[in-house]
A and B are shown apart, each in its own frame.
Chain A
Amino acid sequence: MPQTLYDKLWISHLVRQEDDGTALLYVDRHLVHEVTSPQAYEGLKLAGRGVWRADSIVATADHNTPTRDWERGIEDPVSRLQVETLDANIRAHGAAAYFPFRDPREGIVHVIGPEHGATLPGMTVVCGDSHTSTHGAFGCLAFGIGTSEVEHVLATQCLLSRKAKNMRVRIEGSAGPCVSAKDIVLALIGRIGTAGGTGCAIEFAGSAIRALSMEGRMTVCNMAIEAGARAGMVAVDDRTVEYLRGRPLAPRGELWERAVAHWRTLVSDEGATFDRVVELDAGSIAPQVTWGTSPEMVASVEGAVPDPAREADSTRREGIERALQYMGLQPGMPITAIRFDKVFIGSCTNSRIEDLRAAAAVVRGRRVDPGIRQALVVPGSGLVKRQAEAEGLDRIFVAAGFEWREPGCSMCLGMNADRLEPGERCASTSNRNFEGRQGAGGRTHLMSPQMAAAAAIAGRVVDVRRML
């Protein structure tokens, strides 16, 4: 019987299954960061258990780490203790690779996994972080787990799980100029909603997905969770294989050839059935900007803020009213009338080299609008940062008035010092526009790196297609 990519990944990791469908799934790669792991390691210790397979672990500190003045260490004592706890846990239990605070290869866990070849096609990849879906871009089954599950994986190398439904999102056609992976996935979430993929594993397919770079595919899979799906994935093709060639943890020599031959089978079979299919035409997607407090509250740059009075469903109407009140926006105002205080280019969604190149192309030779209090560029990893510096991107950003920072999660969630103050409005390349996400009372508008760069220059939302 023809199988979907997800079916293949699922079945190849199934250790056992109970009568009620509860399955024990083997985990190949366990990514670990400082926020969701301390209680898991403590749980192991309290139960007198050890780590099943330390060489499945790749760890880094990313959420709490400052993005400047690294020589001063971590000044917040609570953050410092959490990062030092990770240091101690990795020291005690081991890992295949650890990139601690201030290591030149440190970075956001979802950027460094692929960068080091720690994420390979056909693997199961888990992390105590919902954006683990990012790694599905490589034709693997990758999803976020809670801390109890982190402990379960540490102790047993397995996860208790239930098979999700197969959903295929097919995006055909070619995206117009300046329409990026971020716009595609925001448009999708606008269409199916933040619970549209709940209970599903989404395979992203179609010519527009095939045309994306690995970086772009990671952006799309990253936000599968914002559509409610724990896992997003893209079938393996030449681009996947070429990205991985020569990465430090990728196989070499004869093993590489064997691996590639297997990876090439990681596609949905012709005639495989999906429980749900959604189709989108890439050619009809314009640059997207969120106006509300959920990623599904999104509009085209050519559009307007919705009028709740025109919403028939009462819960949805109240949701829009509440969002507009929180966001300080008027019904019906053009999206391009939204003005910003801050701009953030970074996060596991959009901090890879391609994102920085795209933003720099908009910024080159221009100046950040004087109304912008702070414009941050936070590379996803130390390696991305050095690559960008080798290409001179840092000088373009700095000359325009951006701050060029050290890598980390930074203002995506503001666990470190990078955050919004109450009422501040931010053009952000991150993934969540929830109330208070970037700082209590902060107002987040999600968009692509090009659009955020354009917003920094104009001081407001502007259609980047008119700037290039």
Chain B
Amino acid sequence: MEKFTRHVGLVAPIARNNVDTDAIIPKQFLKSIRRTGFGPYLFDEWRYLDRGEPGQDCAARPLNPEFVLNQPRYRGASILLTGKNFGCGSSREHAPWALLDYGVRALVGKSFADIFFNNCFKNGLLPIRLPQAEIDALFADVAARPGYRLMIDLEAQTVARPDGRAIPFEIEPYRKHCLIEGLDDIGLTLRHRDQIAEFEARRRLEQPWNFSR
């Protein structure tokens, strides 16, 4: 997993609540058995005017000029500003894979759906929750100022605005540690393999029906 320490990036606003994972990456692209290559299909139904199919050359497809990521001022955005409950719906990890493959490194929003939130951390994508008042102010600033960038400092747990004002955010220490170090959490868990085996042996003895096959 790629480390996340500090990131400065162009911000694009996705001004909707309840953006679901079907919108982030539609079902026809979930047939892939790979983790990469989903970027061209990110927000496929909003981004293009035709119906997308896996393996298609997206460079030749008609873009929806209305969609925010197609507007020249947001080209190259790596931070998405979102509303409430972003990533709701399906557990598909293809959603964070598509965001990362497109070039997104962080999401700043009011709230995120639980499974999606978890999936982001497993892939080095940082979802940041901020109070509604801060989110509203950021939406207004992004709209008013083309080229609006934020600086995210994970170590300091701050999102710094161009005027220098830093907004603090919360993150669980374990998740922060894994992101900063780019750690594979399976490796970390397997350091406790004896403890797991011991737990399992006891459970097998006490509740053997959970192990019947």
State which of A85, A144, A147, A249 has its C-beta within 8 Å of the C-beta of B212: A249
Q: In the bound complex, do residue A24 and residue B196 qualify as a contact, i.e. CB atoms below 8 Å apart?
A: yes
Minimum CB–CB distance for B48 against chain A, Å: 10
B27: interface (CB < 8 Å): yes
Q: In the bound complex, do residue A16 and residue B186 qualify as a contact, i.e. CB atoms below 8 Å apart?
A: no
State which of B55, B88, B212 has its C-beta within 8 Å of the C-beta of A255: B212
Minimum CB–CB distance for A244 against chain B, Å: 10
Binary contact track B71-85/A, C-beta < 8 Å → 1, others 0: 000000000000111
A-B contact number at CB 8 A? 199
Binary contact track A315-329/B, C-beta < 8 Å → 1, others 0: 110110010000000
Also in contact, A432 and B91, with CB within 8 A (given A55-B211, A195-B85, A440-B45)? no
A96: interface (CB < 8 Å): yes
Binary contact track A184-226/B, C-beta < 8 Å → 1, others 0: 0000000000110011000000000000000000000000010
Q: In the bound complex, do residue A15 and residue B199 qualify as a contact, i.e. CB atoms below 8 Å apart?
A: yes
Using a CB-CB cutoff of 8 Å, which residues 166-213 of chain B contact chain A?
172-175, 184-186, 189-190, 192-193, 195-196, 199-200, 203, 207-213
Contacts of A146 in B (CB 8 A): 91-93, 96, 115, 118-119, 122
B113: interface (CB < 8 Å): yes
A387: interface (CB < 8 Å): no
Q: In the bound complex, do residue A413 and residue B27 qualify as a contact, i.e. CB atoms below 8 Å apart?
A: yes
A82: interface (CB < 8 Å): yes
Q: A42 to B174, alpha carbons, bound, how many Å?
A: 26
State which of B22, B30, B91, B211 has its C-beta within 8 Å of the C-beta of A434: B22
A196: nearest residue on chain B (CB-CB)? B85
Also in contact, A81 and B33, with CB within 8 A (given A130-B115, A199-B114, A319-B17)? yes
Q: A296 to B88, alpha carbons, bound, how many Å?
A: 12
Q: A121 to B209, alpha carbons, bound, how many Å?
A: 10
Q: In the bound complex, do residue A228 and residue B88 qualify as a contact, i.e. CB atoms below 8 Å apart?
A: yes
Q: In the bound complex, do residue B174 and residue A35 qualify as a contact, i.e. CB atoms below 8 Å apart?
A: no
Q: In the bound complex, do residue B33 and residue A82 qualify as a contact, i.e. CB atoms below 8 Å apart?
A: yes
Q: In the bound complex, do residue B186 and residue A151 qualify as a contact, i.e. CB atoms below 8 Å apart?
A: yes
State which of A22, A24, A64, A144 has its C-beta within 8 Å of the C-beta of B115: A144
Q: How large is the interface on B (under 10, 10 to 19, 20 to 34, 35 or more residues)?
A: 35 or more
A306: interface (CB < 8 Å): no
Minimum CB–CB distance for A11 against chain B, Å: 12
Also in contact, A255 and B199, with CB within 8 A (given A145-B91, A146-B118, A152-B185)? no
A and B contact pairs by CB, cutoff 8 A, 29 listed: A15-B192, A19-B173, A24-B192, A26-B196, A26-B203, A36-B91, A42-B35, A55-B211, A82-B31, A120-B209, A129-B90, A147-B93, A149-B122, A151-B186, A155-B186, A155-B189, A194-B88, A195-B18, A198-B85, A228-B114, A258-B209, A316-B17, A318-B16, A319-B18, A413-B90, A415-B28, A436-B26, A440-B45, A441-B45
Instruction: Supply 17 further A-B pairs (C-beta < 8 A) apart from A78-B32, A146-B118, A160-B174.
Output: A22-B174, A55-B211, A64-B31, A82-B33, A145-B115, A146-B92, A146-B96, A146-B115, A147-B93, A195-B88, A198-B114, A294-B20, A296-B18, A415-B27, A415-B30, A422-B51, A437-B22
A-to-B contact residues, CB < 8 Å:
15-16, 18-22, 24, 26, 28-29, 35-36, 38-39, 42, 47, 49, 52-53, 55, 63-64, 76, 78-79, 81-82, 85, 96-97, 120, 122-123, 128-130, 143-149, 151-152, 155-158, 160, 162, 194-195, 198-199, 225, 228-230, 249-251, 255-256, 258-259, 262, 294, 296, 315-316, 318-319, 322, 413-415, 422, 432, 434-437, 440-441
B-to-A contact residues, CB < 8 Å:
15-18, 20, 22-23, 26-28, 30-35, 45, 51, 54-55, 83-85, 88-93, 96, 111, 113-115, 118-119, 122-123, 172-175, 184-186, 189-190, 192-193, 195-196, 199-200, 203, 207-213
